[in-house]
Homo-oligomer: A and B are copies of this chain.
Amino acid sequence: SSGRATAAGALERAMDELLHRAVPAMPAYGLREKTPAPAENQCADFVSFYGGLAEAAERAELLGRLARGFGVDHGQVAEQSAAVLQLLQQPREAAVLLQAEDRLRYALVPRYRSLFHHISKLDGGVRFLVQLRADLLEAQALKLMEGPHVREMNGVLKSMFSEWFSSGFLNLERVTWRSPCEMLQKISEAEAVHPVKSWADMRRRVGPYRRCYFFSHCSTPGEPLIILHVALTSEIASSIQTIVVKESPASETEERDRITTAVLYSLSLTQQGLQGVELGAFLIKRVVKELQKEFPHLGTFASLSPIPGFTKWLLGLLKSKAKDHGRNELLTDSECKEISKITGGPVNETLKTFLSSSEWVQSEQLVRALQAPLMRLCAWYLYGEKHRGYALNPVANFHLQNGAVMWRINWMADVSPKGIMGSCGLMVNYRYVLEDTATNRTTYLSSKSIKASEQVLSLVAQFQKNSKL
Q: Which residues of A does B touch, CB under 8 Å? A: 34-36, 39, 72, 74, 77-78, 81-82, 84-85, 88, 94-95, 97-99, 101-102, 104-105, 108, 117, 120-123, 125-126, 147-149, 151-152, 155, 160, 163-164, 166-169, 171, 177-182, 184-185, 199, 203, 217-219, 438, 441-442, 445
Is the CB–CB distance between A441 and B101 below 8 Å?
no
Is the CB–CB distance between B36 and A442 below 8 Å?
yes
**What is the count of identical protomers in the complex?**
4
Smallest distance from the beta carbon of A280 to chain B beta carbons, Å? 14
A74: which B residues are within 8 A, CB to CB? Answer: 88, 97, 101
A398, B430: Cα distance in complex, Å = 57
Q: Beyond the given A95-B147, A117-B166, could you list 16 further A-B residue pairs with CB under 8 A, ordered by the A residue number?
A: A36-B441, A77-B101, A81-B85, A98-B148, A98-B149, A98-B151, A101-B108, A105-B105, A121-B167, A160-B163, A178-B180, A178-B182, A181-B203, A217-B218, A218-B218, A218-B219
A177: which B residues are within 8 A, CB to CB? Answer: 180-182, 185
Chain B minimum-CB-distance residue to A164: B163
Chain B minimum-CB-distance residue to A93: B148
A97: which B residues are within 8 A, CB to CB? Answer: 74, 148
Is the CB–CB distance between B182 and A148 below 8 Å?
no
Is the CB–CB distance between B180 and A94 below 8 Å?
no
Chain B minimum-CB-distance residue to A41: B438
A18, B315: Cα distance in complex, Å = 55
- Contact residues of A: prevailing secondary structure: helix
- The contact of A445 among B36, B125, B217, by CB within 8 Å, is B36
A56, B180: Cα distance in complex, Å = 36
- The contact of A166 among B108, B120, B182, by CB within 8 Å, is B120
Is the CB–CB distance between B85 and A78 below 8 Å?
yes
A163, B161: Cα distance in complex, Å = 10
- The contact of A178 among B151, B152, B181, by CB within 8 Å, is B181
- Contact status of A94 and B147, CB under 8 A, knowing A101-B77, A152-B102, A180-B177: yes
A84: which B residues are within 8 A, CB to CB? Answer: 77-78, 81
Is the CB–CB distance between B438 and A39 below 8 Å?
yes
A126: which B residues are within 8 A, CB to CB? Answer: 168
What are 14 residue pairs bridging A and B, where the CB atoms are less than 8 Å apart in the complex?
A: A35-B445, A77-B101, A78-B85, A81-B82, A94-B147, A98-B148, A102-B155, A108-B108, A126-B168, A160-B163, A169-B219, A181-B184, A199-B199, A218-B219
A166, B85: Cα distance in complex, Å = 35
A88: which B residues are within 8 A, CB to CB? Answer: 74, 77-78, 81
- The contact of A121 among B77, B104, B148, B166, by CB within 8 Å, is B166
A178: which B residues are within 8 A, CB to CB? Answer: 180-182
A441: which B residues are within 8 A, CB to CB? Answer: 36
Is the CB–CB distance between A81 and B104 below 8 Å?
yes
Chain B minimum-CB-distance residue to A188: B199
A152, B123: Cα distance in complex, Å = 32
A219, B166: Cα distance in complex, Å = 11
